[in-house]
């Protein structure tokens, strides 16, 4: 039982985001460090794809964290620091890109595809129900005669 607890503790400590930021990266000013942490949670690690640079242990994420902190120490505002990184690495570096330019198509693609699929489903059901033969039809004279013969036996 003790081994399991140790293993779980080690695995849990490996998955925390706090371990990604190295002690030599931490700024002396707690306010600047908090700003850097908040901003780095919104920037994507270009190696890990869906992790923020705050969570990633990749060397590129470390470089981006250091660059962000350098910009904040230089006196940049939050938006200026983020814009500087976006200019260098492209809008893909943002975990939540803005709804502008071509990105509006990406944001709208999900709802548009849902509407198209719903419309296709409705059309399929309507065509299927219209092509089905009516349930109550009258028998032809020969069918009625054959039914009478079968019922007599």
Q: Are residues 111 and 85 in the same domain?
A: no
**Whole-number pLDDT of residue 16:** 47
> Which of residues 56, 71, 93 is at a domain's end?
93
Diameter of the chain measured on Cα atoms? 103
Q: Token pair 């999900």 is at which residue?
A: 110
**Whole-number pLDDT of residue 13:** 53
**Whole-number pLDDT of residue 111:** 92
**Whole-number pLDDT of residue 102:** 73
Q: Are residues 108 and 85 in the same domain?
A: no
**Whole-number pLDDT of residue 121:** 95
Domain residues for the domain of 141 are 103-152
Q: Are residues 128 and 146 in the same domain?
A: yes
Q: Are residues 80 and 114 in the same domain?
A: no
**Whole-number pLDDT of residue 100:** 73
The pairs formed by 15-22 with CB atoms below 8 angstroms and a separation of 24 or more are: 17/52, 17/54, 17/55, 19/57, 20/53, 20/54, 20/55, 20/56, 20/57, 20/61, 21/54, 21/65, 22/62
Q: Are residues 72 and 110 in the same domain?
A: no
Question: What total of structural domains would you count in the chain?
Answer: 2
Residue 48's CATH number: 1.10.8.640
| Domain presence at residue 98 | no
pLDDT beneath 70: ranges in the chain: 1, 4-19, 24, 132-136
């Amino acid at each position: 039982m003790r081994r399991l607890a140790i293993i779980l503790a080690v695995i849990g400590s490996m998955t925390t985001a706090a371990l990604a930021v190295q002690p030599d990266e931490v700024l002396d000013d707690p306010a600047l460090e908090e700003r850097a942490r908040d901003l780095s949670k919104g920037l994507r690690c270009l190696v890990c794809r869906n992790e923020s640079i705050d969570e990633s242990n990749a060397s590129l994420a470390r470089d981006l964290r250091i660059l962000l902190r350098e910009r904040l120490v230089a006196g940049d505002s939050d938006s200026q620091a983020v814009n500087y990184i976006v200019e260098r690495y492209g809008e893909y570096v943002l975990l939540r890109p803005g709804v502008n330019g071509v990105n509006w198509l990406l944001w709208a693609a999900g709802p548009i595809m849902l509407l198209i699929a719903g419309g296709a489903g409705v059309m399929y059901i309507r065509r299927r129900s219209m092509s089905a033969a009516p349930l109550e039809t009258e028998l032809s004279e020969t069918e009625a005669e054959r039914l009478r013969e079968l019922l007599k036996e």
